[in-house]
C-alpha cells in the first residue's frame, strides 16, 4: 500500500490547507486530455493560491458530486470544534457515534462527523491531517467505489476513513493487502490514530495460529492479506461442516462463534472489506482460485519417484521432435516419437508400474517446467525451518508469494527439477475464487494507483465503479522518448550509460525490472561500471523499507523488481528536487500497462519534479507473448542481425502489450464462467460449491 509520509502532511512543513467546499457543478468542466479517457470530466478546477480540489468524476455522477460537496463542507465545520476538545472528549464523541451506529442510524448521516474525528485524530497522534482530496477518496470508498489515487497521495491514511466508519456497527472492517509485511506495517502505523478513537486493530499474519486469528478478527478493524482472508473463510466452512452447523453459522448465528476453543470459527462474518492495490488483487490474482488441499497418501512413493524420473529425463526431449506446444493454451503434447522415447527410457520398479498415459503426462509436465520455469524469475529457492523450498515470485508484483503453490503438479515438477523434497500432491478439500470471496462481503471498496484501464472489468464483476481522485499538487513528471535496441545486452549497456549521466548530476535513479535474474544482471553491469547502487528484489523483503527510504537520496541508484510500485514510498532528499528529482528507468514492458504506471509513479510524487524513460529490446518477452513465438523469434533475429537502434519499433511493443492484456482478460472471464457453471451444478445436486467437487 502506498504510504503517506509524515513530511507531506505535517502542518509545520507547509501552510495547513484550509478545508473548502468544491465549487458549483457549473464550474469549468472539460475532458481530461492527459489521461486519454474522454469519459471522465474535470470538475471544479483549483482556485488560484488554494488547495487543489478538482475531482475526477465519471459522466452522470452529478448527484454524487453535490453530496460530497455538502459532506466536505460539514467536515470542515466540525474541525474547529474538535480542535478545541481534549483527547478524552474526542474519545467520548467517538463512542457516542458508535452507539448511534449500533442503534441503527445510517452511516452516511454519520460520515461528516466520523471523518472529521479521524482527521483530527490523525493530526493529533501522527502529525498527519487528511487533505481534502483524501477525504474525497474516503467518501468514494464508503460508497463502494474503487478510488484511483496516484502514488504518494496517501492511500494508507485515506483508508482509515471508511475503515473507522464501517467499524462503528460492530461487525468488523477488513483491509486486504498484498502481503504480510504491508499488512503489519500499515496496521502498526495507523494504530495510534485508531486508539485515540477507541477502535481496536487486529493483524492477520500467515504464521498465526487459530487463537491469534480469532482475536484479530474480533477487533474493530483487521488488516491482513486477501489470501489469508480467503483461506480462513474456507477453513471455517470445513470446520462448520464437520460440526454439522454450517447453515446456522453462515447465516450469522454468532452464539457459537466466539468460543476460546481451537475448534471454533475464527471469522465473525464478512461485513466490509477495503482492498488495497485493488487491481493487483481483484484482477491479476483472480486467475488463480484459492484451494485447500486434502492429502492423498495411497500412491505417494510412486508419484514422487515418477516426478523425479520425469525431471531427470526432461532435457532429452526436444521441441517439435518429441513434443509440440499449443500457441494459445501453452499445452505441451508428446508426438509419436516422444511417446516412443518415454517407453524406451530406463525405469525403476515403482515407475514401471505407473500407467503409460500417466507417464506421458508426467513427461509433458516436466518438459514444460524445464523449458518455461526459470529459477530467480518465476521462483526462488528459499531456506526455511523445514529445509529448502520453492517459493513463487508473483509475476505482477515481483514479490515472494509465500504459501502459494502452482496447480496441476507444476510445483512438484519444479521441486523435482531442483532436486528438493517433493511435497505430497494434494486433492481438493475446499476452493474459492477471488471474485467469489470479495463478492461475499456486504460492502466492498478498493484503492489503487492504476485502475482506470480496468474500470469496465471491475464494474462488471464487482459492481465497483472507478473514481479518479485528483492529486494534491499538480504532477510535474516528464516522459522522455522510448529507446529500442536489438538485444537485452545492448539495452542494458545503454541503460548503464544513462545511469552514469544521471548519477553525475546527482539525481537519484530507480531502475525497474520484470524479474529477479534481470535485476541481478543490471546490478552486475553497474558494478563493472563502478556505480555504487542497491538492489531491491524479492530476496530482500525484510530490508525493503530501509532501501526504499534511501532511494531518493542525492546520487542514489536503486535496481528494483516491479515490486517497487507496490507499497513503497520514495522520499527525495533535500536539494534533489532542484536538480530535476528522481529519474525512473523502465527496462521492459510488463504484461499489464498498470504495472508500468505503478513503476513510473515512483517519481514526480506529490508535485515533485521527476522524469522517466522506457527501454525496450527486440528479444523482450512481451513480443513473444503478444504476437506468438514465430513472430517473436523473427523480431529477435532481426535484432541480432540488423544494425540498431530500432526506436521506431516502440509502437509494436504497446500493441503486443494490449494483446497480452486481452488474453489475460479472456482467461479471467473463462475462469469466472466455469466457476459459475460449477456452482450452479453443485447447488442443483445439493452440494456445497466451496467444499465439494463434482465428478
Domain with CATH 3.40.50.300 in the chain: 6-288+433-468, 476-654
Length of the chain as a residue count:
695
Strands 40-43 and 29-31 come out as: antiparallel
Residues 240, 246: contact at Cβ < 8 Å? yes
Q: Is the pLDDT of residue 326 over 90?
A: no
Three-state SS for 237-248 is: HHHHHHCCCHHH
What is the grid cell recorded at 644? Answer: 540498431
Q: Regarding predicted confidence, which is higher, 16 or 136?
A: 136
pLDDT bin (cut points 50, 70, 90) of residue 376 is confident
Q: Regarding predicted confidence, which is higher, 61 or 68?
A: 68
Taking the C-alpha atoms of residue 385 and residue 570, their distance in angstroms, rounded to an integer, is: 33
Sign of CA pseudo-dihedral 22, 25, 30, 35: positive
Output the pLDDT for position 396. Answer: 64
Nearest to 227 by CA among 434, 472, 51: 434
β-pair partners for 483: 615
Q: Is the pLDDT of residue 190 over 70?
A: yes
Sign of CA pseudo-dihedral 693, 328, 592, 138: negative
Residues 100, 108: contact at Cβ < 8 Å? no
What are residue 614's phi and psi, to 5 degrees? -100, 125
List C-alpha distances in Å: 333 to 15, 186, 329, 361, 406.
67, 47, 11, 8, 19
Fold of 476-654: Rossmann fold (3.40.50)
What is the grid cell recorded at 447? Answer: 484503492
On the 0-12 / 13-18 / 19+ scale of CB atoms within 10 A, 260 is exposed
Least confident of 31-40, 117-126, 422-431, 472-481: 31-40
Which tens digit of pLDDT belongs to each residue from 28-42? 223 332 333 323 333
Look up residue 645 and give its DSSP letter. -
Q: Regarding predicted confidence, which is higher, 601 or 438?
A: 438
Q: Is the pLDDT of residue 295 over 70?
A: no
Q: Is the pLDDT of residue 193 over 50?
A: yes
Q: Is the pLDDT of residue 494 over 90?
A: yes
Output the pLDDT for position 283. Answer: 87
Which tens digit of pLDDT belongs to each residue from 150-167? 877 889 999 999 999 999
Q: Is the pLDDT of residue 273 over 60?
A: yes
Non-local (6+) Cβ contacts of 154 within 8 A are 2, 3, 4, 8, 9, 130, 131, 134
Non-local (6+) Cβ contacts of 655 within 8 A are 626
Taking the C-alpha atoms of residue 440 and residue 164, their distance in angstroms, rounded to an integer, is: 20
What is the grid cell recorded at 493? Answer: 549497456
Look up residue 649 and give its DSSP letter. G
| CB atoms inside a 10 Å sphere around CB 327 | 10
Q: Is the pLDDT of residue 529 over 80?
A: yes
The stretches of 197-277 forming alpha helices (DSSP H) are: 210-217, 226-242, 246-250
Output the pLDDT for position 514. Answer: 87
Residues 7, 605: contact at Cβ < 8 Å? no
Which value, to the nearest 10 degrees, does the dihedral of the CA atoms of residues 515, 664, 176, 378 take? -30
Taking the C-alpha atoms of residue 392 and residue 380, their distance in angstroms, rounded to an integer, is: 7
Output the pLDDT for position 426. Answer: 58
What is the grid cell recorded at 253? Answer: 448465528
Output the pLDDT for position 145. Answer: 94
Q: Is 225 helix (H, G, I), strand (E, B) or coil?
A: strand
Among 67-76, 143-152, 215-224, 514-523, top mean pLDDT goes to: 215-224
Taking the C-alpha atoms of residue 336 and residue 319, their distance in angstroms, rounded to an integer, is: 13
Nearest to 287 by CA among 659, 626, 671: 671
Q: Is the pLDDT of residue 638 over 70?
A: yes
Taking the C-alpha atoms of residue 328 and residue 530, their distance in angstroms, rounded to an integer, is: 44
Return the beta strands (E) in 480-581 as ranges: 483-485, 509-513, 534-536, 557-561
Q: Identify the CATH number of the domain defined by range 300-426.
A: 3.90.1440.10
| CB atoms inside a 10 Å sphere around CB 637 | 13
| Side-chain-facing half-sphere of 118: CA atoms under 13 Å | 30
Question: Using alpha carbons only, what angle is made at residue 458 by residues 159 and 391, rounded to the nearest 5 degrees?
Answer: 75
Rg (Cα) of the chain, in Å, rounded? Answer: 27
What is the grid cell recorded at 443? Answer: 460492502
List C-alpha distances in Å: 667 to 304, 398, 664.
31, 21, 5
Taking the C-alpha atoms of residue 61 and residue 347, their distance in angstroms, rounded to an integer, is: 68
Residues 11, 131: contact at Cβ < 8 Å? no
Output the pLDDT for position 35. Answer: 33
pLDDT, average across residues 453-457:
83
The stretches of 143-225 forming alpha helices (DSSP H) are: 155-167, 180-196, 210-217
Residues 27, 69: contact at Cβ < 8 Å? no
What are residue 534's phi and psi, to 5 degrees? -125, 150
Look up residue 257 and give its DSSP letter. T
Taking the C-alpha atoms of residue 137 and residue 469, their distance in angstroms, rounded to an integer, is: 6
Domain with CATH 3.90.1440.10 in the chain: 300-426
Output the pLDDT for position 382. Answer: 85
Taking the C-alpha atoms of residue 32 and residue 395, their distance in angstroms, rounded to an integer, is: 32
Task: Report the b/e string of 215-233 with b at 16+ CB within 10 A.
Answer: ebbbbbbbbbbbbbbbbbb
pLDDT, average across residues 44-60:
37
Look up residue 171 and give its DSSP letter. S
Q: Is 426 helix (H, G, I), strand (E, B) or coil?
A: strand
pLDDT, average across residues 536-541:
64
Least confident of 10-24, 378-392, 609-623: 10-24
Non-local (6+) Cβ contacts of 20 within 8 A are 47, 50, 51, 53, 72, 76, 132
On the 0-12 / 13-18 / 19+ scale of CB atoms within 10 A, 676 is middle
Q: Is the pLDDT of residue 401 over 60?
A: yes
What is the grid cell recorded at 277? Answer: 492495490
Taking the C-alpha atoms of residue 178 and residue 279, their distance in angstroms, rounded to an integer, is: 11
Nearest to 312 by CA among 267, 345, 268, 334: 345
Fold of 6-288+433-468: Rossmann fold (3.40.50)
Which value, to the nearest 10 degrees, does the dihedral of the CA atoms of residues 521, 524, 529, 531 take? 100
Amino acid at each position: 500500500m502506498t504510504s503517506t509520509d509524515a513530511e507531506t502532511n505535517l502542518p509545520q512543513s507547509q501552510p495547513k490547507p484550509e478545508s473548502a467546499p468544491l465549487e458549483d457543478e457549473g464550474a469549468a468542466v472539460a475532458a481530461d486530455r492527459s489521461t486519454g479517457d474522454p469519459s471522465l470530466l474535470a470538475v471544479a478546477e483549483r482556485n488560484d493560491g488554494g488547495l487543489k480540489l478538482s475531482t475526477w468524476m465519471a459522466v452522470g455522477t452529478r448527484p454524487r458530486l453535490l453530496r460530497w460537496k455538502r459532506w466536505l463542507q460539514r467536515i470542515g465545520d466540525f474541525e474547529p470544534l474538535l480542535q478545541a476538545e481534549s483527547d478524552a472528549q474526542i474519545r467520548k464523541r467517538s463512542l457516542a457515534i458508535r452507539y448511534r451506529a449500533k442503534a441503527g442510524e445510517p452511516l452516511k448521516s454519520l460520515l461528516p462527523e466520523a471523518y472529521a474525528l479521524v482527521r483530527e485524530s490523525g493530526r493529533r497522534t501522527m502529525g498527519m491531517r487528511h487533505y481534502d482530496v483524501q477525504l474525497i477518496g474516503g467518501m468514494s470508498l464508503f460508497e463502494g467505489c474503487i478510488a484511483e489515487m496516484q502514488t504518494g497521495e496517501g492511500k494508507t491514511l485515506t483508508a482509515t476513513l471508511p475503515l473507522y466508519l464501517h467499524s462503528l456497527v460492530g461487525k468488523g472492517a477488513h483491509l486486504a493487502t498484498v502481503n504480510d509485511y504491508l499488512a503489519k506495517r500499515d496496521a502498526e502505523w495507523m494504530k495510534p490514530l485508531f486508539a485515540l478513537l477507541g477502535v481496536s486493530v487486529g493483524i492477520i499474519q500467515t504464521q498465526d495460529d487459530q487463537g491469534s486469528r480469532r482475536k484479530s478478527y474480533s477487533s474493530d478493524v483487521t488488516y491482513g492479506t486477501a489470501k489469508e482472508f480467503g483461506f480462513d473463510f474456507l477453513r471455517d466452512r470445513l470446520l462448520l461442516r464437520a460440526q454439522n452447523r454450517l447453515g446456522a453459522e453462515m447465516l450469522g448465528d454468532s452464539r457459537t462463534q466466539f468460543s476460546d476453543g481451537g475448534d471454533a470459527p475464527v471469522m465473525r462474518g464478512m461485513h466490509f472489506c477495503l482492498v488495497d492495490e485493488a487491481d493487483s488483487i481483484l484482477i491479476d490474482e483472480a486467475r488463480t482460485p484459492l484451494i485447500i488441499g486434502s492429502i492423498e497418501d495411497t500412491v505417494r512413493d510412486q508419484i514422487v519417484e515418477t516426478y523425479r524420473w520425469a525431471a531427470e529425463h526432461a532435457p532429452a526431449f526436444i521441441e517439435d521432435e518429441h513434443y509440440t506446444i499449443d500457441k494459445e493454451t501453452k499445452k505441451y503434447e508428446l508426438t509419436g516419437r516422444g511417446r516412443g522415447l518415454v517407453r524406451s527410457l530406463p525405469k525403476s520398479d515403482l515407475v514401471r508400474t505407473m500407467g503409460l498415459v500417466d507417464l506421458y503426462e508426467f513427461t509433458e509436465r516436466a518438459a514444460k517446467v524445464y523449458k518455461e520455469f526459470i529459477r530467480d524469475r518465476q521462483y526462488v529457492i528459499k531456506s526455511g525451518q523445514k529445509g529448502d523450498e520453492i517459493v513463487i515470485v508473483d509475476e505482477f508484483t515481483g514479490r515472494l508469494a509465500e504459501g502459494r503453490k502452482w496447480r496441476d503438479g507444476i510445483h512438484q515438477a519444479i521441486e523435482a527439477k531442483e532436486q528438493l523434497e517433493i511435497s505430497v500432491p494434494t486433492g481438493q478439500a475446499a476452493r474459492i475464487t477471488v471474485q467469489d470471496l470479495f463478492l461475499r462481503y456486504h460492502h466492498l471498496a478498493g484503492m489503487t494507483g492504476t485502475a482506470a484501464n480496468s474500470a469496465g472489468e471491475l464494474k462488471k464483476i464487482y459492481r465497483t465503479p472507478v473514481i479518479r481522485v485528483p492529486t494534491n499538487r499538480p504532477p510535474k513528471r516528464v516522459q522522455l522518448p522510448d529507446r529500442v535496441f536489438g538485444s537485452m545486452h545492448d539495452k542494458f549497456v545503454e541503460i548503464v550509460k544513462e545511469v552514469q549521466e544521471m548519477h553525475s548530476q546527482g539525481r537519484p535513479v530507480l531502475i525497474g525490472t520484470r524479474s529477479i535474474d534481470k535485476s541481478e544482471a543490471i546490478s552486475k553491469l553497474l558494478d563493472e561500471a563502478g556505480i555504487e547502487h542497491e538492489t531491491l528484489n524479492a530476496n530482500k523483503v525484510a530490508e525493503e523499507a530501509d532501501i526504499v527510504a534511501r532511494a531518493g537520496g542525492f546520487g542514489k541508484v536503486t535496481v528494483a523488481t516491479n515490486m517497487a510500485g507496490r507499497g513503497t514510498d520514495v522520499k527525495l532528499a533535500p536539494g534533489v528536487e532542484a536538480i530535476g528529482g528522481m529519474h525512473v528507468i523502465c527496462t521492459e514492458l510488463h504484461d499489464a500497462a498498470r504495472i508500468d504506471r505503478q513503476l513510473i509513479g515512483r517519481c514526480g510524487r506529490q508535485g515533485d519534479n521527476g522524469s522517466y524513460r522506457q527501454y525496450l529490446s527486440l528479444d523482450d518477452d512481451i513480443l513473444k507473448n503478444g504476437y506468438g513465438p514465430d513472430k517473436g523469434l523473427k523480431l529477435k533475429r532481426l535484432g541480432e542481425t540488423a544494425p540498431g537502434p530500432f526506436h521506431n519499433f516502440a509502437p509494436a511493443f504497446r500493441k503486443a502489450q494490449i494483446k497480452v492484456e486481452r488474453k489475460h482478460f479472456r482467461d479471467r472471464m473463462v475462469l469466472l464462467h466455469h466457476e459459475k457453471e460449477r456452482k450452479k451444478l453443485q447447488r442443483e445436486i445439493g452440494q456445497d460449491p466451496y467444499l465439494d467437487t463434482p465428478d
